[in-house]
Protein backbone atom coordinates (compact mmCIF):
# COMPACT_ATOMS: atom_id res chain seq x y z
CA UNK A 1 0.00 0.00 0.00
CA UNK A 2 1.25 3.48 -0.89
CA UNK A 3 2.55 5.52 2.01
CA UNK A 4 0.11 8.20 3.17
CA UNK A 5 1.72 11.60 3.74
CA UNK A 6 0.19 13.63 6.56
CA UNK A 7 -0.34 16.84 4.60
CA UNK A 8 -2.93 18.11 7.09
CA UNK A 9 -0.23 18.77 9.70
CA UNK A 10 1.09 21.59 7.52
CA UNK A 11 -2.24 23.24 6.73
CA UNK A 12 -2.18 25.95 9.42
CA UNK A 13 1.49 27.11 9.09
CA UNK A 14 1.37 27.14 5.30
CA UNK A 15 -1.95 28.98 5.19
CA UNK A 16 -0.42 31.59 7.51
CA UNK A 17 2.61 31.80 5.20
CA UNK A 18 0.36 32.35 2.17
CA UNK A 19 -1.63 35.03 3.98
CA UNK A 20 1.60 36.85 4.88
CA UNK A 21 2.90 36.66 1.31
CA UNK A 22 -0.34 37.95 -0.17
CA UNK A 23 -0.59 40.67 2.50
CA UNK A 24 2.94 41.70 1.54
CA UNK A 25 1.86 41.90 -2.08
CA UNK A 26 -1.16 44.06 -1.19
CA UNK A 27 1.08 46.32 0.89
CA UNK A 28 3.53 46.61 -2.02
CA UNK A 29 0.71 47.38 -4.44
CA UNK A 30 -0.58 50.15 -2.17
CA UNK A 31 2.87 51.67 -1.60
CA UNK A 32 4.99 51.17 -4.75
CA UNK A 33 2.29 49.95 -7.15
CA UNK A 34 2.62 47.73 -10.22
CA UNK A 35 5.11 48.46 -12.97
CA UNK A 36 2.50 48.65 -15.74
CA UNK A 37 3.66 48.14 -19.31
CA UNK A 38 2.59 50.28 -22.24
CA UNK A 39 -0.59 48.16 -22.58
CA UNK A 40 -1.90 49.53 -19.28
CA UNK A 41 0.05 52.73 -18.72
CA UNK A 42 -0.76 55.82 -20.78
CA UNK A 43 2.13 57.42 -22.54
CA UNK A 44 4.63 57.21 -25.37
CA UNK A 45 7.02 54.31 -25.86
CA UNK A 46 9.76 54.31 -28.48
CA UNK A 47 12.27 51.64 -29.36
CA UNK A 48 15.45 53.15 -30.75
CA UNK A 49 18.79 51.79 -31.84
CA UNK A 50 22.06 53.68 -32.01
CA UNK A 51 23.71 52.53 -35.23
CA UNK A 52 25.35 54.07 -38.32
CA UNK A 53 23.88 53.98 -41.81
CA UNK A 54 25.43 51.16 -43.86
CA UNK A 55 23.86 51.71 -47.29
CA UNK A 56 22.20 54.73 -48.93
CA UNK A 57 19.51 54.17 -51.56
CA UNK A 58 18.03 56.63 -54.07
CA UNK A 59 15.60 56.22 -56.95
CA UNK A 60 14.90 58.05 -60.18
CA UNK A 61 11.91 56.90 -62.19
CA UNK A 62 8.16 57.06 -62.66
CA UNK A 63 7.06 54.10 -60.52
CA UNK A 64 6.84 53.63 -56.77
CA UNK A 65 9.74 51.74 -55.21
CA UNK A 66 9.77 50.79 -51.54
CA UNK A 67 12.34 48.97 -49.42
CA UNK A 68 12.03 46.67 -46.44
CA UNK A 69 14.68 44.88 -44.38
CA UNK A 70 14.17 41.68 -42.38
CA UNK A 71 16.22 39.00 -40.70
CA UNK A 72 16.41 37.15 -44.04
CA UNK A 73 17.41 39.97 -46.35
CA UNK A 74 16.39 43.16 -48.13
CA UNK A 75 13.28 43.37 -50.31
CA UNK A 76 12.67 45.99 -53.01
CA UNK A 77 9.05 46.33 -54.19
CA UNK A 78 8.35 48.03 -57.52
CA UNK A 79 4.69 49.00 -58.00
CA UNK A 80 2.44 51.56 -59.65
CA UNK A 81 1.54 52.55 -63.20
CA UNK A 82 3.95 51.26 -65.82
CA UNK A 83 5.40 48.50 -63.62
CA UNK A 84 4.83 44.77 -63.26
CA UNK A 85 4.40 45.01 -59.46
CA UNK A 86 7.57 43.05 -58.87
CA UNK A 87 9.29 42.20 -55.59
CA UNK A 88 13.05 41.71 -55.64
CA UNK A 89 14.44 39.73 -52.70
CA UNK A 90 18.12 40.02 -51.87
CA UNK A 91 18.95 37.41 -49.24
CA UNK A 92 21.96 37.78 -46.99
CA UNK A 93 22.97 34.20 -47.72
CA UNK A 94 23.31 35.00 -51.44
CA UNK A 95 24.99 38.37 -50.83
CA UNK A 96 27.02 37.93 -47.62
CA UNK A 97 28.99 41.20 -47.78
CA UNK A 98 27.94 44.82 -48.03
CA UNK A 99 29.68 45.17 -51.41
CA UNK A 100 27.79 42.21 -52.87
CA UNK A 101 24.48 43.45 -51.51
CA UNK A 102 25.09 46.94 -52.93
CA UNK A 103 25.89 45.46 -56.35
CA UNK A 104 22.71 43.41 -56.28
CA UNK A 105 20.56 46.40 -55.28
CA UNK A 106 21.98 48.40 -58.18
CA UNK A 107 20.51 45.86 -60.62
CA UNK A 108 17.01 47.21 -59.91
CA UNK A 109 16.20 49.72 -62.64
CA UNK A 110 16.37 53.29 -61.38
CA UNK A 111 17.79 52.35 -57.95
CA UNK A 112 21.22 53.55 -56.90
CA UNK A 113 22.86 51.98 -53.86
CA UNK A 114 26.02 53.35 -52.22
CA UNK A 115 27.90 51.75 -49.32
CA UNK A 116 28.61 54.00 -46.36
CA UNK A 117 30.85 51.39 -44.67
CA UNK A 118 33.55 49.00 -45.81
CA UNK A 119 32.27 46.65 -48.51
CA UNK A 120 33.95 43.67 -46.87
CA UNK A 121 31.73 43.87 -43.78
CA UNK A 122 28.87 41.34 -43.44
CA UNK A 123 25.50 42.34 -44.87
CA UNK A 124 23.36 40.49 -42.34
CA UNK A 125 21.19 42.36 -39.84
CA UNK A 126 20.13 45.37 -41.90
CA UNK A 127 17.18 47.37 -40.54
CA UNK A 128 15.27 50.55 -41.34
CA UNK A 129 13.74 53.47 -39.44
CA UNK A 130 10.01 53.24 -38.80
CA UNK A 131 9.44 57.00 -38.63
CA UNK A 132 10.63 57.61 -42.21
CA UNK A 133 8.73 56.58 -45.33
CA UNK A 134 10.33 53.56 -47.02
CA UNK A 135 9.34 54.79 -50.49
CA UNK A 136 12.54 55.74 -52.36
CA UNK A 137 13.11 59.12 -53.95
CA UNK A 138 16.07 61.25 -55.00
CA UNK A 139 16.77 61.85 -51.29
CA UNK A 140 19.07 59.20 -49.76
CA UNK A 141 17.25 56.50 -47.79
CA UNK A 142 19.37 54.62 -45.25
CA UNK A 143 19.70 50.95 -44.39
CA UNK A 144 21.29 50.63 -40.95
CA UNK A 145 23.53 47.96 -39.50
CA UNK A 146 25.44 47.79 -36.18
CA UNK A 147 29.07 46.75 -36.51
CA UNK A 148 30.13 48.02 -33.09
CA UNK A 149 28.43 49.19 -29.93
CA UNK A 150 28.02 52.95 -30.16
CA UNK A 151 26.09 53.45 -26.92
CA UNK A 152 25.32 51.72 -23.63
CA UNK A 153 22.15 52.12 -21.60
CA UNK A 154 24.00 54.49 -19.28
CA UNK A 155 24.94 56.66 -22.28
CA UNK A 156 21.29 56.82 -23.36
CA UNK A 157 20.14 57.69 -19.84
CA UNK A 158 22.71 60.48 -19.65
CA UNK A 159 21.56 61.78 -23.05
CA UNK A 160 17.95 61.87 -21.79
CA UNK A 161 18.85 63.43 -18.43
CA UNK A 162 16.94 66.57 -19.45
CA UNK A 163 13.78 64.40 -19.50
CA UNK A 164 13.70 63.11 -15.90
CA UNK A 165 10.35 61.34 -16.45
CA UNK A 166 11.82 59.17 -19.24
CA UNK A 167 12.29 55.48 -18.39
CA UNK A 168 14.93 53.56 -20.39
CA UNK A 169 15.32 49.79 -20.75
CA UNK A 170 17.52 47.59 -22.91
CA UNK A 171 16.06 45.27 -25.53
CA UNK A 172 18.05 42.68 -27.47
CA UNK A 173 21.66 41.64 -27.03
CA UNK A 174 25.03 42.47 -28.53
CA UNK A 175 24.89 44.24 -31.87
CA UNK A 176 21.09 43.75 -31.91
CA UNK A 177 20.75 45.91 -28.81
CA UNK A 178 18.04 48.51 -28.74
CA UNK A 179 16.67 50.88 -26.11
CA UNK A 180 13.04 51.16 -25.03
CA UNK A 181 12.16 54.69 -23.93
CA UNK A 182 8.90 55.47 -22.17
CA UNK A 183 7.40 58.81 -21.12
CA UNK A 184 4.09 58.86 -19.28
CA UNK A 185 1.00 60.90 -20.15
CA UNK A 186 -1.42 62.38 -17.61
CA UNK A 187 -3.96 63.28 -20.31
CA UNK A 188 -3.66 67.03 -19.82
CA UNK A 189 -2.11 67.78 -23.23
CA UNK A 190 -3.56 66.31 -26.43
CA UNK A 191 -0.30 67.02 -28.33
CA UNK A 192 1.96 65.39 -25.73
CA UNK A 193 2.81 62.44 -27.99
CA UNK A 194 4.37 64.53 -30.79
CA UNK A 195 6.08 66.82 -28.26
CA UNK A 196 7.68 63.91 -26.43
CA UNK A 197 8.84 62.31 -29.68
CA UNK A 198 10.50 65.58 -30.66
CA UNK A 199 12.16 65.92 -27.23
CA UNK A 200 13.53 62.35 -27.35
CA UNK A 201 14.83 62.75 -30.90
CA UNK A 202 16.46 66.09 -30.10
CA UNK A 203 18.21 64.76 -27.00
CA UNK A 204 19.51 61.62 -28.72
CA UNK A 205 20.71 63.36 -31.88
CA UNK A 206 22.66 65.88 -29.80
CA UNK A 207 24.40 63.01 -28.02
CA UNK A 208 24.97 60.51 -30.85
CA UNK A 209 24.52 62.38 -34.12
CA UNK A 210 21.50 62.67 -36.38
CA UNK A 211 22.54 59.83 -38.70
CA UNK A 212 23.09 57.35 -35.84
CA UNK A 213 19.68 57.48 -34.13
CA UNK A 214 17.15 55.06 -35.59
CA UNK A 215 13.55 54.85 -34.37
CA UNK A 216 12.54 51.21 -34.82
CA UNK A 217 9.06 51.31 -33.27
CA UNK A 218 6.69 53.86 -31.74
CA UNK A 219 3.53 53.22 -29.69
CA UNK A 220 1.20 55.55 -27.84
CA UNK A 221 -1.73 54.77 -25.56
CA UNK A 222 -4.02 57.52 -24.26
CA UNK A 223 -5.16 57.80 -20.66
CA UNK A 224 -8.79 56.85 -21.47
CA UNK A 225 -7.83 53.72 -23.40
CA UNK A 226 -5.38 52.69 -20.70
CA UNK A 227 -8.04 52.92 -17.96
CA UNK A 228 -10.43 50.93 -20.14
CA UNK A 229 -7.85 48.17 -20.61
CA UNK A 230 -7.24 47.88 -16.86
CA UNK A 231 -10.99 47.72 -16.17
CA UNK A 232 -11.66 45.14 -18.90
CA UNK A 233 -8.76 43.01 -17.69
CA UNK A 234 -10.27 42.92 -14.19
CA UNK A 235 -13.64 41.91 -15.67
CA UNK A 236 -11.95 39.16 -17.69
CA UNK A 237 -10.22 37.62 -14.67
CA UNK A 238 -13.31 37.87 -12.44
CA UNK A 239 -15.50 36.38 -15.18
CA UNK A 240 -13.08 33.49 -15.60
CA UNK A 241 -13.10 32.78 -11.86
CA UNK A 242 -16.92 32.87 -11.76
CA UNK A 243 -17.27 30.41 -14.65
CA UNK A 244 -14.77 28.06 -13.01
CA UNK A 245 -16.76 28.24 -9.76
CA UNK A 246 -19.99 27.42 -11.64
CA UNK A 247 -18.33 24.42 -13.30
CA UNK A 248 -16.81 23.12 -10.05
CA UNK A 249 -20.09 23.65 -8.13
CA UNK A 250 -21.96 21.67 -10.77
CA UNK A 251 -19.44 18.83 -10.70
CA UNK A 252 -18.79 18.75 -6.94
CA UNK A 253 -20.35 20.13 -3.76
CA UNK A 254 -20.20 23.82 -2.86
CA UNK A 255 -17.26 23.49 -0.47
CA UNK A 256 -15.18 21.63 -3.06
CA UNK A 257 -16.01 24.29 -5.65
CA UNK A 258 -15.20 27.19 -3.34
CA UNK A 259 -11.96 25.53 -2.22
CA UNK A 260 -10.88 25.15 -5.86
CA UNK A 261 -11.67 28.81 -6.60
CA UNK A 262 -9.83 29.98 -3.46
CA UNK A 263 -6.79 27.97 -4.60
CA UNK A 264 -6.66 29.62 -8.03
CA UNK A 265 -7.29 33.08 -6.55
CA UNK A 266 -4.33 32.32 -4.26
CA UNK A 267 -2.18 31.47 -7.31
CA UNK A 268 -3.17 34.67 -9.12
CA UNK A 269 -2.41 36.81 -6.05
CA UNK A 270 0.97 35.11 -5.53
CA UNK A 271 1.85 35.91 -9.15
CA UNK A 272 0.77 39.54 -8.71
CA UNK A 273 2.82 39.72 -5.50
CA UNK A 274 5.84 38.46 -7.45
CA UNK A 275 5.26 41.10 -10.14
CA UNK A 276 4.95 43.87 -7.53
CA UNK A 277 8.14 43.12 -5.62
CA UNK A 278 10.36 42.17 -8.59
CA UNK A 279 9.17 45.29 -10.50
CA UNK A 280 8.57 43.09 -13.52
CA UNK A 281 6.70 44.92 -16.26
CA UNK A 282 3.00 44.01 -16.17
CA UNK A 283 1.75 43.61 -19.75
CA UNK A 284 -0.89 41.71 -21.68
CA UNK A 285 1.49 38.72 -21.61
CA UNK A 286 1.32 38.82 -17.80
CA UNK A 287 -2.46 38.49 -18.02
CA UNK A 288 -1.98 35.57 -20.40
CA UNK A 289 0.38 33.93 -17.88
CA UNK A 290 -2.11 34.35 -15.01
CA UNK A 291 -5.00 32.89 -17.03
CA UNK A 292 -2.77 30.01 -18.20
CA UNK A 293 -1.90 29.16 -14.61
CA UNK A 294 -5.55 29.47 -13.56
CA UNK A 295 -6.51 26.88 -16.18
CA UNK A 296 -3.58 24.63 -15.34
CA UNK A 297 -4.18 24.83 -11.59
CA UNK A 298 -7.92 24.11 -11.75
CA UNK A 299 -7.21 21.02 -13.84
CA UNK A 300 -4.81 19.74 -11.18
CA UNK A 301 -7.27 20.58 -8.40
CA UNK A 302 -10.19 18.85 -10.15
CA UNK A 303 -8.16 15.64 -10.50
CA UNK A 304 -7.48 15.62 -6.75
CA UNK A 305 -11.10 16.43 -5.88
CA UNK A 306 -12.26 13.56 -8.10
CA UNK A 307 -10.01 11.24 -6.13
CA UNK A 308 -11.34 12.64 -2.82
CA UNK A 309 -14.90 12.04 -3.96
CA UNK A 310 -14.06 8.48 -4.99
CA UNK A 311 -12.34 7.72 -1.68
CA UNK A 312 -15.33 9.11 0.23
CA UNK A 313 -17.57 6.76 -1.75
CA UNK A 314 -15.26 3.83 -1.01
CA UNK A 315 -15.18 4.69 2.70
CA UNK A 316 -11.39 4.76 2.90
CA UNK A 317 -11.55 6.47 6.30
CA UNK A 318 -14.02 7.80 8.85
CA UNK A 319 -11.95 10.98 9.28
CA UNK A 320 -12.18 13.47 6.41
CA UNK A 321 -8.62 14.80 6.90
CA UNK A 322 -7.36 11.26 6.40
CA UNK A 323 -9.32 10.96 3.16
CA UNK A 324 -7.67 14.18 2.00
CA UNK A 325 -4.24 12.83 2.92
CA UNK A 326 -4.90 9.53 1.13
CA UNK A 327 -6.18 11.29 -2.01
CA UNK A 328 -3.31 13.77 -2.16
CA UNK A 329 -0.76 10.99 -1.62
CA UNK A 330 -2.29 8.92 -4.43
CA UNK A 331 -2.22 11.88 -6.84
CA UNK A 332 1.17 13.28 -5.77
CA UNK A 333 3.27 11.34 -8.27
CA UNK A 334 1.00 12.32 -11.16
CA UNK A 335 0.97 15.97 -10.04
CA UNK A 336 4.76 16.17 -9.74
CA UNK A 337 5.50 14.40 -13.02
CA UNK A 338 3.01 16.54 -14.95
CA UNK A 339 4.27 19.78 -13.42
CA UNK A 340 7.98 18.98 -13.78
CA UNK A 341 7.68 18.00 -17.45
CA UNK A 342 5.75 21.20 -18.15
CA UNK A 343 8.30 23.25 -16.23
CA UNK A 344 11.15 21.80 -18.32
CA UNK A 345 9.63 23.38 -21.43
CA UNK A 346 8.96 26.68 -19.64
CA UNK A 347 12.46 26.84 -18.15
CA UNK A 348 13.88 26.36 -21.67
CA UNK A 349 11.68 29.24 -22.82
CA UNK A 350 13.02 31.36 -19.95
CA UNK A 351 16.67 30.53 -20.72
CA UNK A 352 16.59 31.00 -24.47
CA UNK A 353 14.35 34.05 -24.85
CA UNK A 354 14.62 37.71 -23.93
CA UNK A 355 12.37 40.65 -23.12
CA UNK A 356 8.68 40.16 -22.43
CA UNK A 357 8.75 36.48 -23.38
CA UNK A 358 11.36 35.85 -20.69
CA UNK A 359 9.16 37.59 -18.12
CA UNK A 360 6.18 35.55 -19.33
CA UNK A 361 8.09 32.30 -18.79
CA UNK A 362 9.32 33.37 -15.33
CA UNK A 363 5.78 34.26 -14.26
CA UNK A 364 4.55 30.87 -15.50
CA UNK A 365 7.22 29.12 -13.43
CA UNK A 366 6.12 30.97 -10.28
CA UNK A 367 2.45 30.30 -11.00
CA UNK A 368 2.85 26.58 -11.67
CA UNK A 369 4.84 26.01 -8.50
CA UNK A 370 2.17 27.94 -6.61
CA UNK A 371 -0.50 25.84 -8.35
CA UNK A 372 0.87 22.58 -7.00
CA UNK A 373 1.25 24.10 -3.55
CA UNK A 374 -2.28 25.54 -3.47
CA UNK A 375 -3.88 22.31 -4.63
CA UNK A 376 -2.21 20.31 -1.86
CA UNK A 377 -2.48 22.79 1.00
CA UNK A 378 -4.82 25.74 0.31
CA UNK A 379 -7.81 24.02 -1.33
CA UNK A 380 -7.53 21.02 0.99
CA UNK A 381 -7.21 23.21 4.10
CA UNK A 382 -10.42 25.06 3.20
CA UNK A 383 -12.34 21.84 2.50
CA UNK A 384 -11.04 20.30 5.73
CA UNK A 385 -12.25 23.37 7.64
CA UNK A 386 -15.70 23.14 6.08
CA UNK A 387 -15.93 19.42 6.90
CA UNK A 388 -14.33 19.44 10.32
CA UNK A 389 -17.48 17.77 11.78
CA UNK A 390 -17.97 15.42 8.83
CA UNK A 391 -19.17 11.84 9.33
CA UNK A 392 -19.43 9.10 6.69
CA UNK A 393 -23.17 9.02 7.28
CA UNK A 394 -23.43 12.58 5.95
CA UNK A 395 -22.82 11.33 2.43
CA UNK A 396 -25.82 10.37 0.34
CA UNK A 397 -25.57 7.27 -1.80
CA UNK A 398 -24.76 8.29 -5.34
CA UNK A 399 -23.83 6.59 -8.56
CA UNK A 400 -20.16 5.62 -8.30
CA UNK A 401 -17.90 8.25 -9.83
CA UNK A 402 -15.03 7.44 -12.14
CA UNK A 403 -11.71 8.28 -10.53
CA UNK A 404 -9.60 10.68 -12.60
CA UNK A 405 -6.10 9.39 -12.19
Which domains, ranges and CATH numbers included, belong to the chain? 7-39+225-394 (1.20.1640.10), 43-221 (no CATH)
* Number of helices and strands in the chain (H, E): 10, 10
What integer is the mean pLDDT of 186-206? 81
Least confident of 50-59, 234-243, 256-265, 337-346: 234-243
pLDDT band at residue 79 using 50, 70 and 90 as cut-offs = confident
- Residue 228 Cα to chain centre, angstroms: 20
pLDDT per residue as tens digits for the range 287-296: 889 888 988 8
Answer whether residue 157 shows pLDDT above 80: yes
Cβ-count burial of 7 within 10 angstroms (0-12 exposed, 13-18 middle, 19+ buried)?
buried
Q: Which of 197, 189, 188 is nearest to 45 (CA)?
A: 197
* Pair 40, 283: CB distance under 8 Å: yes
Q: Is residue 165 exposed (0-12), middle (13-18) or buried (19+ Cβ within 10 Å)?
A: exposed
Mean of the pLDDT values across residues 245-257?
80
Of the candidates 336, 289, 312, the one whose C-alpha atom is nearest the C-alpha of residue 391 is: 312
Residue 401: pLDDT over 70: no
**CA 328, CA 171: separation in Å to the nearest integer?**
44
Q: In terms of Cα–Cα distance, which of 335, 331, 338, 336 is closest to 309?
A: 331
Amino acid sequence: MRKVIQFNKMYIPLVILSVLLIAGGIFGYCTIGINYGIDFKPGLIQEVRIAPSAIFLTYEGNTAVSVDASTAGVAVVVSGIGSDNTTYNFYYGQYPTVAELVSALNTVEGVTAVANVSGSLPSTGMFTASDISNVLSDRPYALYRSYEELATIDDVRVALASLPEADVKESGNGLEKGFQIRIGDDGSDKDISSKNKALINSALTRAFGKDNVVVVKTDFIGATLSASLVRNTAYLVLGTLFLIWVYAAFRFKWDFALGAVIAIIHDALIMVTFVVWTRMEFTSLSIAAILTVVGYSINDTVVVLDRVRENVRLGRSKIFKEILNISQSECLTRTLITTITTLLAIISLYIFTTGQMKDFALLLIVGMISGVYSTIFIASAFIALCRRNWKPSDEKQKTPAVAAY
